[in-house]
Amino acid sequence: MIGMGTFVNAMAIVAGSLVGMMAGRGIKEKYQVTVIHGLSLCVMMLGLQMALKSQHVLLTISSLVTGSLIGEACNIEDKLNRFGLWLGSLFSKKGSGGSERFANGFLYASLIYCVGAMAIVGSIQDGLRGDPAILYTKAMLDGLSGIIYAANMGIGVLFSSISVLLYQGALTLLAGLIGPYVTDAVVREISVTGGLMIFGIGINMTKLMTIRIGNMLPGLFVAGLMAYFLL
């Protein structure tokens, strides 16, 4: 059944998040801080692995700069944060840890789960061929990582499943239209640009500085377009 891969992926995130939230309640704060720092290093490593596959550095730079300008003009990050804070306000009264924590967990997890080759290729393969194999593999990885993320970032991680449903679901539905244009070069350059964003998420998680990753998101589409027309 077409679309089942995305549904299973989203449910795996929900299940992993629930396990993580239950486990996190019994962990002292100092341990959670150390774990989140270790987790941020792992996220940065994942981002670097993706980014270092670049074969066209100038294209990556152009995509990220152009996308950042578009994102700043549209104020994407603030809109995402306001949406996350609104969702968080619905749950903070129930002891979820506050709307700000919810928004951070929702935003970071959404970006991590949605940016990457597996999300793109898996959704298109599911839409074109009805083959959800890649998304089933991604579901297993996302579910396991969701345990760790939710234990440290709270219920916002669970609601990132909505982002996965909307993003991957849209790609699956549009697969017939965009499939022929998604070449290996397009997937690679989108993943490279996304890898840099994931590295930035890792930096944000350490709270050493704040990078407005949400405003860089248009860079993914710019990278795909440039790769299609120039490579």
Highest mean pLDDT among 20-29, 40-49, 120-129, 162-171: 162-171
Domain ranges within the chain, ordered by starting residue: 4-230
Q: Which residue has the higher pLDDT, 150 or 117?
A: 150
How many angstroms separate the CA atoms of 218 and 152, rounded?
28
What would the pLDDT profile of 70-105 be if each residue is shown by its tens digit? Answer: 999 999 888 888 887 777 777 655 544 567 788 888
Exposure string for 77-103, b = 16+ CB within 10 A, e = fewer: beebbeebbebbeebbeeebbebebbb
pLDDT at site 91: 64
Sign of CA dihedral 227, 46, 106, 212: negative
Say whether pLDDT at 180 is over 50.
yes
Q: Once rounded to an integer, what is the mean pLDDT over residues 206-226?
A: 88
Q: Which residue has the higher pLDDT, 80 or 159?
A: 159
Q: Once rounded to an integer, what is the mean pLDDT over residues 148-168?
A: 90
- Number of residues that this document lists for the chain: 231
What would the pLDDT profile of 120-152 be if each residue is shown by its tens digit? Answer: 878 988 888 888 888 998 998 889 888 888 888
Q: For residue 205, give every residue at least 6 positions away whose Cβ sits within 8 Å of its Cβ, in sequence order, or none.
A: 36, 37, 39, 40, 43, 108
Say whether pLDDT at 8 is over 90.
yes
pLDDT at site 9: 96
% the chain with pLDDT above 90: 29
What would the pLDDT profile of 57-69 be if each residue is shown by its tens digit? Answer: 999 999 999 999 9
pLDDT at site 116: 73
pLDDT at site 63: 94
pLDDT at site 85: 78
Mean pLDDT across the chain: 85
pTM of the shown model: 0.78
Alpha-carbon Rg for the chain, nearest whole angstrom, is 17
How many angstroms separate the CA atoms of 224 and 231, rounded?
10
Say whether pLDDT at 26 is over 70.
no
pLDDT at site 96: 47
Instruction: Report CA dihedral (99, 101, 103, 105) to the nearest 10 degrees.
Output: -150
Say whether pLDDT at 13 is over 90.
yes
